[in-house]
Structure 1
């Protein structure tokens, strides 16, 4: 039975039994605490917890999921995969334990000819929570299972909760017995691979209190009892297809076979090779599905996970002996295996292919450069007698060369070395903290989502801002420090929930509106506007005067100038996108955007930098559209109708059944968008393209100033040009040639200065050689040479002195102050190295005295620090090391 057939049977079975058939949500989760959709229940969490009223009493889905916590186990066990599909049926206060058990048993054991899966009842076992007598009774009543095939297990395996106060309840799991050839008898309690868990039924029955682990209290029963179940599609597929594991099912095996063909391996012969083949098959499918849902490779977040999967695939193929590229042959196999269940992977394959081939090409170059650096670092580490590769090296490989830390760990381990992972993580955290300081602080105000449940239960916030900038409303909720309160007073920062609002909440790349909320006796400055849960808008405010309470009348006021600038920028984003596609073709598809008053940026799929001529052409097409004063219209329609019309959606964005379509100039620009826009394109004003850059191996970014910001930028550039023409006494049209001439003169002068300085340094060599003295068994020059322009100058001086000392065993250690920081460089010759003196060890020791770090090759190495006053002590340490 093919995997897509199992999926279809599931949806048909539960659909015929009154369940709303819900399409799979994107792998990119709506939950801000999750990178990906990690379980079938994730899209339904707001309904299961009561945070958002469920639009149906019962539902079913086959949900795409990604988990990477067990990535190291992929290929080693029969059931660990990064991408998997979870078949689920859900009840929101409708049916409960008895019916859930009946549905599960019937679907599993119903003959294939009647639409079921046709499992033999005697092959199935179940587990229940140890105190769940009701579940035991229902299993006996429904399935007639004997006591020995119903095993009671503890909280570790058969009790569910989020780990926080809220819904909780017992679980019941269904297992398939693969037979004695796969392991010992004894049922699922043996925790053996013989018994494969295929279905988990969660009975959300209780309200749990505070606590952790097993130590928490049950506060009582939930007012509405819910059902959340999940059947692992891949696990059922490998059982129904009679294969050994999930990597051999119809949706995965073709990639494995192609990888085996490319590598000249035979699957099933060598365990280590089999693991690598299964890794390739899993990671290719996972990458295909992630890219189909809009994820692109990067060094952060979801993009890093995708990049890691792709690069682990390349690495696995290389370990199988394939040095060249393989994605062009592997990914079509996965596309063809998955298209029956997910037609979009075939429809969008051109884009997917461009992304993976560009990433493979980039990583092949990374492997070449990074491997050389890593090999050198490994050699130096071993020569120094250390067993751990430095975190600085690992970070350099990751940050500068794009070498994943996982790959560094693997390759270092192959060389017999470990990596200081804790220190590496510290360096990564410092980098992320610097990069995200501003962005992270803005979102801190959102409270624990559970506090919004009572407000969302009242209904959705009505957004009126498309038609008006002022809306009369009322305060339905106030949150201070994450807690719902009745009042907020002057000086406090709070969240205000209104029944209606004209203030736009940040979404779709558009920054939130600026403005105010006012009442008869209070004034609130709006700092931010967000949608913490679906259907609810929350305003972060500062109470600048008075006191506001729940139930008070309120007027939401949008800053008109801000909104004008925001609409100009958002419409300019659509115009630039249309211009890109007109000039570059339909392959240039938007992959992200951000806009605020006076500024916009747009990321799009493209693998090479844009020429100056192309950028000018894009800018001209965009401004021509502005000049032509194209009509901007918005329409509300069904999602399927919008797609039929040709409206473009942003990859990774979530859309409901009903969408808003924004047209500029009719079909010229036709996109799904919930943002605010101008009425006609001339209202955008001027568009000035000020930046174009790379944001990944297959994505570019353009940045533009819009409206008055664009005018001010042109005015500033005009003033600069005017000043240059005056100061250089050169007409404007001759400025490029004049500047080029001045730069050439400057470079020539710099070369002459460098030659003079080199000559001056060379004159110091004889005097330094004169200072040489015998220390122990070597001749040494150990001196502080004062201030120098650069470490290159210091290195050249050290090498010149070493050369003048001849073949006698010699060590040269010179220190200098370079830019207010101390530096030391140590050089040895063959004779001194044969006596055991290594420059790297000596430089590292001296650098420790200087308050820094250092090291290098045995023949020459350098170190540095922060304390120039310690130079004499650092040099003295080198001298004592030579005499030891």
Structure 2
């Protein structure tokens, strides 16, 4: 067998299937696009769902890809096993209703065994098949030539994730030889398909041919599909004769760089340190690619995964004696390893490293707090005579401070303690349940809508050239049936041509009307979406008879359309302006182009300053006033890239693409509608900037008339303010506001002084006549002060005068509001009286709650009528003690 690098293996796989007529699909972003069921892209087929569920028909039904993927459901196993990873690549070939079992099997055999390709020894290959899939077994034996004793029937070989597409599968195993036996020769698992290291699974071919229905029955799919997956890391370990995936060229440079950082430990020294080397190498790959695709560390969702991976890697670095930030230095190493297929990693290496470094520094501070908390928990356990740390406390260390469970166990063991594993597992289970509930319950794989799949009527979009056209109605769909005529209700229509834009790329669909040959409106177009075969599918409200093969006049609402196209061009200008002002690391994370406003999401580490927002706005307006021409170029994708066109990481592009150029300022891939000249926008105004997620900011803005109206409204508000303040000119407003702020500050100081005097006058007699209750002195009273701040001031006076053992004061500064304070002298505290205990007894009587220290506690409530009852309850509580 050949010795190949990981880059050669990946490219050879793609080239093979390209030679079989497959389109090579580039690796999609790790961040799923329009799929709420996934946190990350977790397989090659995850990016193909729109093809398999029939929502989109691919231009080529044969597809191949090498897809980067992330899975974190068993992150604890990373480093401890030979093949668990958070980030991995899945090589796959897919057929969407085209070829099926024979081609999938024979091509797999050719790729694996042909001397022109992988050149594996056929005698070392085994396959498993589903027992009832006699066709697959026959093809493996008769067509591929695999001996029957190399074909094993396994009951589990049926791919099924619940409702949706499913079918039998066939797994391919490579016999790595006697030296990889990890079980006794007579062990029942020591066979292809068993749990062992000798027979390594390298490929799985799924024959998707059934629909798993809600009643747990199966029906044939209208179109049978092929979905295969070959783990790149696994197959590289075979070609490079590696004991595990980590002894390959995908990981060894990272392990070597980590050895250099450590200076004390080397890979292979011991099992424990090897785990740390593996975890670091694995996690920095996942972190690098995730940040490169636009995710950033945070406390939730994808950001939480990144944060957890970084912290876990840092902790393992400490176990290797690395007590400084080091992960960020591994980012360019990842880039160099993956450069042949993912050149963008090295291009973004400085930005990714900066994000990682910031997170490392933040965690090093957090780590100190975590160690302090762990030590406190250990001391508490020892004082209580307990030999085990609670699962809840250990999980808090794990979840909040990023402490790996095994590290907590080690530190606890040094102190003679164990960890409540069951309690920890319970907390982990609850967290995973919360995470599942936080995500959409949408189906992970839909079932093909066969009606639309079968409609292949040619339909042309002519909206780039004209907004009104005559067209022939070709298809009417209503109640999931194709009909010839409709007179009322709702329907979906396909015409031979249409000027109506179908929603895509953030631009909303056109609205408008359909007229008959008499000029009568027969339908209102309320929405337009893309049908699976690419036609513009019009959702309409039918007002009069519509009939297939009749001609109609399609008219787009031009006012609506023109507003949308202005805002769409503005998003292109805004995108480039953000790069210019904030830096090239920012990229689009979503957009919405409506007629009345535009919304633009972009990645950025922090909030955007007022000055930077002002600069962005100035840049966009400057480009508008320069009256730049907006040109559209239709070309091939390579030529477009040479032009410098910016592509969205969430979008797929065909061989022919549409590029929108705004002068020499902005060049982007875009299929939307735009103005002919930036001067048509007139004016651009940002109305808000905010954070919408970890590292994602959102700008909303308006253009043209909407921008004028926005500014005019604010001008009217300013003029009203000038009139109310009795000023003569707007320019006097800042000075007048400064004067008013100074006056307000002075008045507040006077009020505070007067309130203090009033409080002292009210309490002069109270402090002098404490009540004796059960051997202790008590001052309990309702006072008329402004709130909690004044109550605390009175408590300070009481403490200075040593007026009594206990103080209970209440005030009602406003309707439906109560403030309570309880103070206990040192003598009272020594006697066992705690302010926190007392206030918990009386706060409910005023409709509230509170707490505090043994010597001072406070509470709030909403029932002023209960104040006297609360004061009486305080006296009763002391009496009973």
State TM-score, norm by structure 2: 0.81
- RMSD between superposed Cα atoms in Å: 4.9
Quick one: distance in 2 between partners of 1:876 and 1:300? 48
Q: 1:452 to 1:747 in 2, by over 3 A?
A: farther
* Change in CA separation of 1:537 and 1:320 when aligned onto 2, cut-off 3 Å: farther
Match of 1:436 in 2: none
After superposition, give the CA deviation of every residue in 1:165-221 in whole Å (9 maximum; x if it has no partner).
44533444435456464224332554345543221121234454433xxxx32335x
Show the counterpart of 1:288.
Answer: 288
| Residue in 1 that maps onto 2:127 | 126
Tell me the equivalent position of 2:617.
Answer: 619
Give the match's secondary structure for 2:26. Answer: coil
Between 404-413 and 554-563, the greater mean CA deviation after superposition? 404-413
Q: Within 5 A, what are the aligned runs for 1:844-859?
A: 854-857=850-853, 859=855
Say if 1:787 and 1:664 are closer, same or farther in 2 by CA, change over 3 A.
farther
In the alignment, structure 1 residue 341 sits paired with structure 2 residue 337: no
Number of matched pairs: 850
Partner residue in 1 for 2:466:
468
Q: 1:79 maps to what in 2?
A: 83
Residue 233 of structure 1 corresponds to 232
* Structure 2 counterpart of 1:632: 630
Q: Which residue of 2 aligns with 1:437?
A: none
> 2 CA distance for matches of 1:364 and 1:818?
46
The question of whether the paired residues in 1 share the 8 Å contact of 2:451 and 2:481 is answered with no
Supply the distance in 2 between the matched residues of 1:840 and 1:378 (Cα, whole angstroms): 26
Deviation at 1:254, TM superposition (A): 2.8
- Greater Cα offset, 738-747 or 551-560: 551-560
Measure the CA separation in 1 of the matches of 2:9 and 2:649.
28
- Counterpart in the other structure of 1:733: 731
Task: Identify the match of residue 30 of structure 2 among 27, 31, 34.
Answer: 27
- Mark the CA change 1:684 to 1:17 in structure 2 (over 3 Å): closer, same or farther: closer
Moved more, 547-556 or 182-191: 547-556
**Structure 1 residue 651: Cα displacement:** 3.5
Deviation at 1:233, TM superposition (A): 1.0
Could you say if the C-alpha distance between residues 95 and 679 of structure 1 is closer, same or farther in structure 2, counting changes exceeding 3 Å?
A: closer
Partners of 1:561 and 1:75 in 2: CA distance: 60
CA contact under 8 A between 2:568 and 2:674: conserved in structure 1? Answer: yes
**Contact 1:160/1:169, CA 8 A, preserved across alignment:** yes
- Aligned twin of 2:416: none
The CA distance in 2 between the partners of 1:55 and 1:361, in whole Å, is: 48
Name structure 2 gaps, 5 residues minimum.
413-418
The CA deviation at 1:283 is 2.2
CA deviation digits over 1:423-465, x for unaligned, max 9? Answer: 98999999x89xxxxxx9xx99999673375256425754332
For 1:703 and 1:378, the matched residues in 2 are separated by 51
Q: Distance in 2 between matches of 1:866 and 1:272?
A: 59
1:103-137 CA distance string (max 9 Å, x none): 334444456xx431535734x44322232333344
Equivalent in the alignment of 2:248: 249
Structure 2 residue 89 is matched with structure 1 residue 88: no
Alignment of 1:511 with 2:499, yes or no, is no
Post-superposition Cα deviations, 1:19-49, rounded to whole Å, max 9, x if no partner, equal 4444333333445243433222233444445
State the distance in 1 between where 2:778 and 2:822 align: 10
SS of residue in 2 equivalent to 1:9: helix
What is the rounded CA distance, in whole Å, between the counterparts of 2:129 and 2:442 in structure 1?
41
Is 1:687 the equivalent of 2:698? no
For the residue of structure 2 that corresponds to 1:87, the secondary structure is strand
CA contact (8 A) 2:173 2:199 kept: no
CA-CA distance at 1:382 after TM superposition: 12
Separation of aligned partners in 2, 1:404 and 1:527:
47
What does residue 820 of structure 1 align with? 816
Equivalent residue of 2:647, what SS?
coil
SS in 1 for 2:290: helix
Cα 1:577–1:51 change in 2 (3 A) is closer
> In 2, are the aligned partners of 1:623 and 1:687 still within 8 Å (CA)?
yes
Distance 1:365 1:103, change over 3 A: same
Alignment of 1:222-621 (within 5 A): 222=221, 224-263=223-262, 264-269=264-269, 274-297=274-297, 302-303=302-303, 305-314=305-314, 316-317=316-317, 322=322, 324-360=324-360, 407=402, 450-451=448-449, 454-455=452-453, 457-459=455-457, 462-473=460-471, 474=473, 476-478=475-477, 483=480, 500-517=497-514, 525-531=524-530, 535-539=534-538, 545=543, 556-582=554-580, 586=584, 589-604=587-602, 607=605, 614-621=612-619
Counting only pairs closer than 5 Å after superposition, residues 99-110 of structure 1 correspond to structure 2 as: 99-110=103-114
8 Å contact kept, 1:58–1:91: yes
Q: Which moved more, 1:703-712 or 1:594-603?
A: 594-603
Report the Cα distance in structure 2 between the residues aligned to 1:227 and 1:116, rounded to whole angstroms. 21
**Contact (CA 8 Å) 2:476, 2:491: kept in 1 or not?**
no
Deviation at 1:251, TM superposition (A): 1.7
Residues 18 and 630 of structure 1: CA distance in aligned 2, closer, same or farther (over 3 Å): closer
- 1:69 aligns with 73
Residues 92, 379 of structure 1: alpha-carbon distance in 2 compared, 3 angstrom cutoff: same
CA contact (8 A) 1:595 1:601 kept: yes
Change in Cα spacing, 1:615 to 1:170, as seen in structure 2 (3 Å) is closer
Q: What is the alpha-carbon distance in structure 2 between the residues aligned to residue 550 and residue 801 of structure 1?
A: 91
Aligned positions of 1:147-162 closer than 5 A:
147=149, 150-154=151-155, 157-162=156-161
Q: TM-score, normalised by structure 1?
A: 0.80
Any unmatched runs of 5+ in structure 1? 398-402, 434-439
Aligned residues of 1:573 and 1:600 also touching (Cα < 8 A): yes
Who is 2:711 aligned against?
A: 714
> After superposition, what is the alpha-carbon deviation per residue over 1:644-663, rounded to whole angstroms, capped at 9, x for unaligned?
01112234333222221111
Counterpart check, 1:641 vs 2:631: no
Distance 1:848 1:151 in 2: 71
Asked if structure 1 preserves the Cα contact closer than 8 Å seen for 2:296 and 2:694, the reply is: no
SS for the counterpart of 1:723 is helix
**Partner Cα separation in structure 2 for residue 813 and residue 98 of structure 1:** 87
What is the alpha-carbon distance in structure 2 between the residues aligned to residue 719 and residue 602 of structure 1? 28
> Which sits farther off after the overlay, 865-874 or 73-82?
865-874
CA distances 1:73-114 after superposition (whole Å, capped 9, x unpaired): 333322221211112233445554344334334444456xx4
| Residue 116 of structure 1, aligned match among 115, 118, 135 | 118
Whether contact under 8 Å (1:50, 1:453) holds in the other structure is no
Tell which deviates more after alignment, 568-577 or 580-589: 580-589
Give the Cα–Cα distance (whole angstroms) in 2 for the partners of residues 526 and 584 of structure 1: 41
Which residue of structure 1 aligns with residue 218 of structure 2? 218
Residue 9 of structure 2 corresponds to residue 6 of structure 1? yes
C-alpha deviation, 1:756, in angstroms = 2.9
The aligned runs of 1:668-687 (5 Å cut-off) are 668-687=665-684
Kindly indicate whether the alpha-carbon contact (under 8 Å) linking 2:475 and 2:483 is maintained by their aligned counterparts in 1. no
Instruction: Answer yes or no: is the 8 Å Cα contact 2:32–2:38 preserved in 1.
Output: yes
Deviation at 1:834, TM superposition (A): 5.2
- Judge which range, 463-472 or 89-98, deviates more: 89-98
Aligned to 2:701: 704
Distance 1:458 1:97, change over 3 A: closer
Q: Aligned pair in 2 of structure 1 residues 50, 492: CA closer, same or farther (>3 Å)?
A: closer
Q: Distance in 1 between matches of 2:630 and 2:643?
A: 16
Secondary structure (helix, strand or coil) at the match of 1:458 reads coil
Deviations 1:114-167 (A, max 9, x none): 431535734x443222323333444445454454x544322xx31123522445
Q: Cα 1:191–1:802, aligned 2, differ >3 Å: closer, same or farther?
A: farther
